[in-house]
Amino acid sequence: MRSVEMKNRCLLYYGNPVGYRTEQGVVADSMFRREELEDWLARKGLAVRWEDGIYDRLSSGGYQKAADNGPALKSCRIWQLGPSAPAAMRFIGLDRMSGEYGGPDLTRYQAVFDGTVSTNSLDGIWEAFCRRSLGSDGQPLAISDLVELYDDSGSEFYYVDRTAIVPVQLKAPEQESGMTMTTYFLYSEKEEPTMAKAQTTSENPQGEVSQQDTPVLPMQYDVRIHSIQFDGPCRATASLNINGCFAVRGVKLMEGSNGLFVSMPGQINSKGEIKDICFPYTREARAELESAVVTAYQQALTQGMNRSPQSAPDPTAQQAQKMGM
């Protein structure tokens, strides 16, 4: 066995996956920073960036599938509107953003993720971040966010629109000194996921997806606000009835530095991570749901619901009380 070798763009040190190849050079785990490894990389003319945690992620196999095929990966930044941006700018499509605000303005955004993802596919990036907590607010990737893919040759920007992530022309920001780079991996063993495009795809009885225009039923949300709070990040609890046939309990309306966002009910998995039990799968569905909840919340405030001696009962709490929880 060779002490150091590169296989399928994965750097092996005595058989251990300790790094991976990029267009800029190599990203390697700082735990394995040894003179022997540094000398080998220098002889190959490869610039190296040392980061923590690379070995653990590569050992899990999350990068291997991406490393076997395709070009070198670009780094990725996710941008979300900052606290100075008007609330009306959030969760709107590119047409409206361009018509009312002259297009996305990067000075109104703040970077909530900056690192490497195991795919540069926009569908794969959506799948990776649409249910992941980002930044201090924990808001996942949503409509009006920006995706930046960059390397030494420059940056490409994409706007998270209602039915797709589309390219936009923006000027790349200057890299801030001291900005920490992180690495993000997809661990799915399945084929690279594809975003559901309700307006452009349909599924036949055999489960095959065909590219054709399919009418989408309008979504109707009956939202009930059960309590309103003025302290802490949780502003309200709510329940949803979707199209009169599907109910969701335990919904929370949260407020972070980027504004209001909806937190879906979740549970803790074996790794101690909180995963949503149910959630909107497309950007358009998420935007519609969040708009319905925020509108109901604002109406409740207007009606003075918070001053009512008794707020509407929360069915989730009632059920828990009956079960003795």
Under the banding of pLDDT at 50, 70 and 90, the label for residue 314 is: low
pLDDT of residue 259: 78
In angstroms, rounded to a whole number, what is the distance separating the alpha carbons of residues 134 and 132? 6
pLDDT of residue 206: 38
**Over 50: is that where the pLDDT of 204 sits?**
no
**Over 70: is that where the pLDDT of 170 sits?**
yes
Consecutive H or E run containing 66: helix 64-68
Q: How far is C-alpha 217 from the geometric centre of its chain's CA atoms? A: 26
pLDDT of residue 315: 53
The CATH class, in words, for 221-320 is: alpha beta
pLDDT of residue 185: 39
In angstroms, rounded to a whole number, what is the distance separating the alpha carbons of residues 211 and 206? 15
Nearest Cα residue to 144 out of 112, 186, 180, 184: 112
Query: How far, in Å, are 48, 170, 228, 315 from residue 305 at the CA level?
Result: 58, 43, 8, 18
**Over 70: is that where the pLDDT of 160 sits?**
yes
In angstroms, rounded to a whole number, what is the distance separating the alpha carbons of residues 4 and 34? 11
The residue that leads in pLDDT, 98 or 227, is 98
- Helix, strand, coil content of the chain in percent (nearest 5): 25, 30, 45
Looking up tokens 């599907």 gives: 246
Give the mean pLDDT of 270-299. Answer: 80
**Over 80: is that where the pLDDT of 65 sits?**
no
For 234, residues 6+ apart whose C-beta sits below 8 A from its C-beta are 252, 253, 254, 255
For 68, residues 6+ apart whose C-beta sits below 8 A from its C-beta are 8
What are the structure tokens assigned to 304, written together? 């003075």
Give the mean pLDDT of 53-60. Answer: 71
pLDDT of residue 89: 92
**Over 90: is that where the pLDDT of 167 sits?**
yes
The answer to which of 18-32, 189-203, 256-270 has the lowest mean pLDDT is 189-203
In single-letter form, the type of residue at position 28 comes to: A
The residue that leads in pLDDT, 21 or 190, is 21
The answer to which of 2-6, 33-37, 179-183 has the lowest mean pLDDT is 179-183
Cα Rg of the chain, angstroms? 23
**Over 80: is that where the pLDDT of 312 sits?**
no
Highest mean pLDDT, choosing among 136-140, 200-204, 233-237, 306-310: 233-237
pLDDT tens string 97-115: 999 999 999 999 999 888 8
DSSP code of 83?
Answer: T
Domain spans, the chain: 4-68, 75-189, 221-320
3-state secondary structure of 55: helix
The residue that leads in pLDDT, 273 or 34, is 34
Question: Do the Cβ atoms of 97 and 165 come closer than 8 Å?
Answer: no
Query: Mean pLDDT of all residues in the chain?
Result: 75
3-state secondary structure of 64: helix
Residues pairing with 48 in the sheet: 26
pLDDT of residue 179: 42
**Over 50: is that where the pLDDT of 123 sits?**
yes
Report residue 79: phi and psi, to 5°: -115, 135
Report residue 248: phi and psi, to 5°: -130, 125
Residues in the chain: 325
What are the structure tokens assigned to 123, written together? 């569908």
**Over 90: is that where the pLDDT of 168 sits?**
yes
**Over 80: is that where the pLDDT of 267 sits?**
no
